């Protein structure tokens, strides 16, 4: 396969799986035929959440995989789950794939528009489709969130077997929803509705299902693709008690201390320059010392559960690794471990009606059992901001904290125990894997891949596959970024943004502390032109006037609730009207009789 560069003003769009700059891809010669591929996707994990990236949680199994391969420290994804998943699985931009955003925040003006169907479009060929043509068995277990209508579930997009959740999240212990937008947890097996095994932790369930698929596959020596899409650490943040207890007291210093600690570790690990400035906390966020003693206990416990959830999930990943080792397939398996976006800042407990909804759906939020079965939990914006360090802000936003997440690859054709600061993007994963497995047959009428193969970087034959004149953009619900060379131009929505473009140096200022627009007007203008070209090429729509993401999410949730319970509410309203009418008639008859008697 080859790279084709198409000039769009300042924007360079690469298609195909080959690297840029005319360099040949490294010849990959797996020791035992084509390598297996395992993709492990965390949900809402920050750049420094994993142990190997300097996180507080212990992740020995992930760390061991990482030391066998290459870690990226300048990898970017999209700021939201479904767009990132579409990009990862297709090698396209989210708009090209048909998943511009998520339905939870979609305005009615965008419904049904090209790129805004919010499911993979028919000509958006996926990695499993391509690898199946190359002789692979293909399996998926975990969060899908790319549509559950006819032709939208995993089986229609290249997976032989699948256990899939088509929602933004679900409870990690029981078969139930986690927010009012849903009236159930929509799980599917092989594209047919199924149930979640209540009482079991989600990471264990997802790994168990994948192991069952691997054990049941045909004994034909064909390689496999295993896509493991975890619920950790999406809200509700939950974990088995034995893991949460390991972090008792670890976060008692609060989010201000965690920010300082992570930033110093980021310097020590070489993620940021020694003279870099730490990212600021948004002015709307609370100082840790402003909390009461009880609030501090609850907040610290929430983070203990967060760390426990990561370690518990690492233990389940260890079971998958041990299984492959036992079957003799480990050494010939390529691993990709990454996250769909930065940490989740939502504080649902502060939203009107949510506490009532929790109670009606069997949730509590108490210190003693926080994060255990029946307990709802979240870390909120202050912890999310601290967790996102050395980046600024978090999920939903195209800031560094929303886009920069961990990504590592290990296996045949990949240099071991190496960290690289080369630019890499979520749409690069599909072309990279196609390259590493030796290629895959072309799919007629499929949209050309827009990502680039990172194989030259992984093999050590090149330092980068993106040059100073290559621009890469992303847009989700008005939050946008365009990166070119060492500069990035970003804007994001309220409440944490103001929809104004700002220019930052990616390497020297990862915390996005100094807007360089006034100092470098020519670079800003160049990036503005590059973004305009990206937006035009991808069919990006302007948001309706007055759009506010929280208001849209609330509106969409109410509309969904009405669709779930409309008949019941209409029935109650009718009963109420009839009751009032009957009372009026009784009262009228009473006063009429009383008047006659007088």
Q: How do residues 180-208 score in pLDDT, each as one tens digit?
A: 888 899 999 999 999 999 999 999 999 99
| Active-site entry in 81, 95, 157, 234 | 81
Rounded to an integer, what distance in angstroms lies between the CA atom of residue 435 and that of residue 274?
Answer: 36
Question: Which of 454, 475, 474, 458 has the alpha carbon at shortest distance from 466?
Answer: 454
| Active-site entry in 110, 119, 137, 145 | 145
Both structure tokens of 396: 């939903």
For the beta carbon of residue 570, count every other beta carbon within 10 angstroms.
Answer: 11
Question: Which of 106, 103, 119, 181 has the alpha carbon at shortest distance from 544?
Answer: 106
Three-class secondary structure of residue 551 per DSSP? helix
* Mean pLDDT over the full length of the chain: 90
Q: Residue 564: what pLDDT? A: 61
Is 3 a residue whose pLDDT tops 60? no
81 is catalytic: yes
What's 160's DSSP letter?
S
Question: 319-372, pLDDT tens digit by residue?
Answer: 999 999 999 999 999 999 999 999 999 999 988 889 999 999 999 999 999 999
Give a three-class secondary structure readout of 293-354.
HHHHHHHHHHHHHHHHHHHHHHHHHHHHHHHHHHCCCHHHEEEEEEECCCCCCCCHHHCCCH
| Residues contacting residue 136 through CB under 8 Å, at least 6 positions apart | 34, 37, 128, 222, 223, 224, 225, 437
Structural contact between residues 1 and 435, judged by C-beta atoms closer than 8 angstroms? yes
Domain ranges within the chain, ordered by starting residue: 4-463, 472-538, 548-598
How many CA atoms lie less than 13 Å away from 179 in the CB half-sphere? 23
Structural contact between residues 99 and 120, judged by C-beta atoms closer than 8 angstroms? yes
Q: Which residue has the tokens 């990504």?
A: 407
Q: Give the pLDDT band of residue 11 (cuts 50, 70, 90).
A: very low
Q: Residue 545: what pLDDT? A: 87
CA end-to-end distance (rounded Å), the chain: 100
Question: 359-411, pLDDT tens digit by residue?
Answer: 999 999 999 999 999 999 999 999 999 999 999 999 999 999 999 999 999 99
| Residues contacting residue 583 through CB under 8 Å, at least 6 positions apart | none
Number of separate helices (H) and strands (E) present in the chain: 15, 18
CATH class of the domain defined by 472-538? alpha beta
CATH class of the domain defined by 4-463? alpha beta
Instruction: Report pTM.
Output: 0.89
What does the longest C-alpha to C-alpha distance in the chain come to? 107
**Nearest 10 degrees: Cα torsion 486, 489, 493, 498:** 120
Q: Regarding predicted confidence, which is higher, 15 or 311?
A: 311
Rounded to an integer, what distance in angstroms lies between the CA atom of residue 422 and that of residue 465?
Answer: 8
| Residues comprising the chain, all counted | 598
| Residues contacting residue 384 through CB under 8 Å, at least 6 positions apart | 46, 342, 343, 344, 345, 394, 395
Rounded to an integer, what distance in angstroms lies between the CA atom of residue 264 and that of residue 259?
Answer: 9
Measured on CA atoms in the order 411, 412, 416, 418, is the torsion positive or negative?
negative
In 340-484, where do the E strands start and end?
407-410, 418-420, 424-425, 471-476, 479-484
Q: Are strands 75-76 and 36-42 parallel, antiparallel or unpaired?
A: unpaired
């Amino acid at each position: 396969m080859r790279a084709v560069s198409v000039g769009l003003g300042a924007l360079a769009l690469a298609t195909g799986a080959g690297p840029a700059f005319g360099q040949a891809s490294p010849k990959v010669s797996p020791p035992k035929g084509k390598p297996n591929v395992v993709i492990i996707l965390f949900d809402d994990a920050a750049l420094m959440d994993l142990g190997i990236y300097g996180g507080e949680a212990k992740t020995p199994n992930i760390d061991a995989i990482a030391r066998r391969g290459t870690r990226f420290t300048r990898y970017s994804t999209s700021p939201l789950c479904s767009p990132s998943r579409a990009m990862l699985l297709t090698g396209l931009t989210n708009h090209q794939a048909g998943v511009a955003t998520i339905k939870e925040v979609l305005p009615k003006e965008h419904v049904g528009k090209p790129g805004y169907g919010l499911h993979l479009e028919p000509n958006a060929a996926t990695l499993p489709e391509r690898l199946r043509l190359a002789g692979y068995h293909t399996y998926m277990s975990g969060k899908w969130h790319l549509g559950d209508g006819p032709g939208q579930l995993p089986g229609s997009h290249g997976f032989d077997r699948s256990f899939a959740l088509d929602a933004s999240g679900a409870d990690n212990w029981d078969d139930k929803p986690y927010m009012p937008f849903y009236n159930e947890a929509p799980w599917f097996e092989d594209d047919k509705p199924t149930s979640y095994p209540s009482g079991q932790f989600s990471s264990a369930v997802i790994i168990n299902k994948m192991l069952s698929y691997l054990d049941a596959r045909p004994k034909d020596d064909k390689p496999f693709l295993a896509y493991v899409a975890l619920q950790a650490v999406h809200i509700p943040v939950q974990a088995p008690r034995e893991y949460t207890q390991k972090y008792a007291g670890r976060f008692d210093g609060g989010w201000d201390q965690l920010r300082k600690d992570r930033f110093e570790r980021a310097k020590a690990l070489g993620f940021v320059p020694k003279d870099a400035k730490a990212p600021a906390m948004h002015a709307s966020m609370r100082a840790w010392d402003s909390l009461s003693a009880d609030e501090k206990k609850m907040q610290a416990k929430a983070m203990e559960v967060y760390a426990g959830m990561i370690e518990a999930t690492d233990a389940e990943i260890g079971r998958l690794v041990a299984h492959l080792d036992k079957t003799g397939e480990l050494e010939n398996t390529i691993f990709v471990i990454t996250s769909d976006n930065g940490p989740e800042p939502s504080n649902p407990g502060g939203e009107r009606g949510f506490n009532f909804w929790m109670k009606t759906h069997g949730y509590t939020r108490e210190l003693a059992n926080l994060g255990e079965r029946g307990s709802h939990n979240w870390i909120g914006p202050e912890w999310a901001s601290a967790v996102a360090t050395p980046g600024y802000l978090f999920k939903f936003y195209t800031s560094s904290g929303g886009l920069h997440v961990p990504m590592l690859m290990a296996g045949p054709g990949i240099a071991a125990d190496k960290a690289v600061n080369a630019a890499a993007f979520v749409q690069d994963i599909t072309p990279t894997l196609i390259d590493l497995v030796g290629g895959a047959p072309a799919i007629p009428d499929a949209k050309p891949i827009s990502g680039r193969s990172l194989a030259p970087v992984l093999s050590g034959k090149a330092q980068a596959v993106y040059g100073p004149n290559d621009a890469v953009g992303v847009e989700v619900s008005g939050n946008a970024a365009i990166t070119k060379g060492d500069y990035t131009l970003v804007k994001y929505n309220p409440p944490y943004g103001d929809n104004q473009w700002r220019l930052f140096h990616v390497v020297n200022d990862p915390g996005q502390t100094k807007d360089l627009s006034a100092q470098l007007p020519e670079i800003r203008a160049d990036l503005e032109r590059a973004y305009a070209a990206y937006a035009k090429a991808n069919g990006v729509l302007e948001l309706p006037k007055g759009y506010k993401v929280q208001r849209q999410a609330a509106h969409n949730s109410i509309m969904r609730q009405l669709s779930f319970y409309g008949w019941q509410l209409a029935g109650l309203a009718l009963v109420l009207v009839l009751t009032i009418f009957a009372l009026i008639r009784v009262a009228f008859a009473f006063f009429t009789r009383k008047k006659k008697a007088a």
